[in-house]
A and B are shown apart, each in its own frame.
Chain A
Amino acid sequence: VIRDPDLHDLFGQWITTRAAELIEDPPRDLALHAAGCDRCLRLAAAIDMLDGIDVGAAAIPPLITVPTRNEPGTLGPLARSAAISAALVLGAATAAAVGSSWLAGARPAGGGAQPSSPGEGVLAGVPSETASSRPTPSRTTRASQRETPTPEPSGTSPDESPALPAFLPPPPPAPLPPPPTTTPATAAPSITAAPTPTATLVPSPTAVPTVTPDLSPTQSPSPTPTSTPTPTPTPTGP
């Protein structure tokens, strides 16, 4: 009776499926079998051992008691640094744009003759700061992705535009960059005096390089007329 394999299997099934709660007694024949079967008693003992586990007795490591979570109104350090760098890049780009517009305004009609600097003509046509800041972010993202490894600032720049004035120092210093590229071609000595300082500013990483290449394709017509006037001064010099 006790060694009946069917009872053995049946008890195994019962202990695993029906004995989830200590409500229902096992059938008598199964209990009789199990009471004399070492294997079945072991199965029952195994289920009994689950009662010996006390989930609440664990000592919690200290690190999990302090969940880290940002307050809704605060920025994380990464976001804060990204915002600052975005504002700085925008400021530099806007300063460069304003400066180039100044130069374009001060220069005679055919000032920027080289194909590398036609952006000045575009920026010169767009006088206000806000207008110049709008186009730069979308274009700078493409250009800065090639040149600088971190495109975040330019990506976030449109949102940061209201904070721009705070980071914008004086616009005049930056204007100089574009002219140096053009100056070698221009023979007029009076104009070269102004652009020369800009040559030192050209290397400045993000602002200048990003602006000039992007805008060039749109204003391609402007450079072509300017190139023709340059030869005219040379004959007049002598």
Chain B
Amino acid sequence: MHPTSEVLRKAFRDLHSTRLYGFALLATLGDRRRAASLTGDALAAGTARTEELRHPERAAAWLRRQVMREAVRGRSADAPSAAGVDLQEIGVNAPILAGLSALTTRERGALVAASVERFDRRDVATIVDVDGARLDRLIGRARGRFAVAVADALDEDSMREGPWVARIRDIAARALR
């Protein structure tokens, strides 16, 4: 094999592996072994085609699409109790896990792609293999179900003021002045 190709493949793996694994972890609700398997398969498929890559900016979405295809096709994710340290490492606490558990695999993929990784709409469509109005409904449904499940699981300790809460309070304060 040409050395340049090997360098390219290694760079491709290094560039995508960590975040792709994080995506797979969320999609599988922290099933580490399955996430690693999905990530490895997707990376192997991707690195095999690095020389055909014409739009590197789309590679991340393409890889996640591979993960999603297998994740949706495979067995359902393990119970939330199976989630280990890996999910905590990426900032998933108990309420968030409860929210992710309330979603289907495809909804999780859409939510993570759109609202966590903030892919653009075209990439999200690629990842979940849905586009148009169906994609809007899918993302909206995922966010709604996630929000309701997290809201139910939130306690005073785990509730913190994020950008939306701060913004709402700010708008209300300005309106009441």
Contact = CB atoms under 8 A, between A and B. Distances in A.
Contacts of A41: 165, 168
Contacts of A56: 18-19, 22, 90
A11 B149 CA distance: 16
A222 B175 CA distance: 108
A60 B17 contact: yes
Given A64-B36, A65-B17, A55 B116 contact: yes
Given A16-B143, A63-B40, A49 B96 contact: yes
B70 interface: no
Contact of A55 (B1, B90, B168, B169): B90
A45 interface: yes
Chain B interface size, as a band, is: 35 or more
Interface string A54-83: 111111110111011101000000000000
Contact of A64 (B21, B148, B149): B21
A69 B90 contact: no
Contacts of A13: 144
B164 A58 contact: no
Interface string A3-23: 000000000110111011110
Contact of B89 (A19, A32, A52, A59): A59
Contacts of A31: 167-168, 171-172, 175
A43 B148 contact: yes
Contacts of A51: 162-163
Chain A interface size, as a band, is: 35 or more
Interface of A: 12-13, 15-17, 19-22, 25-26, 28, 31-32, 34-36, 39, 41-61, 63-65, 67-69, 71
A69 B5 CA distance: 14
A134 B114 CA distance: 60
Interface in B81-107: 86, 89-93, 95-96, 99
A61 B91 contact: no
B150 interface: yes
A53 B162 contact: no
Contacts of A68: 44
B43 interface: yes
Contacts of B72: none
B13 interface: yes
A65 B140 contact: no
Interface in B113-143: 114-118, 136, 139-141, 143
A53 B91 contact: yes
B112 interface: yes
Given A31-B172, A44-B162, A67-B47, 16 more contacts: A13-B144, A15-B147, A35-B168, A43-B151, A44-B168, A45-B161, A46-B95, A49-B95, A49-B160, A54-B22, A54-B91, A59-B86, A60-B21, A63-B40, A64-B39, A67-B44
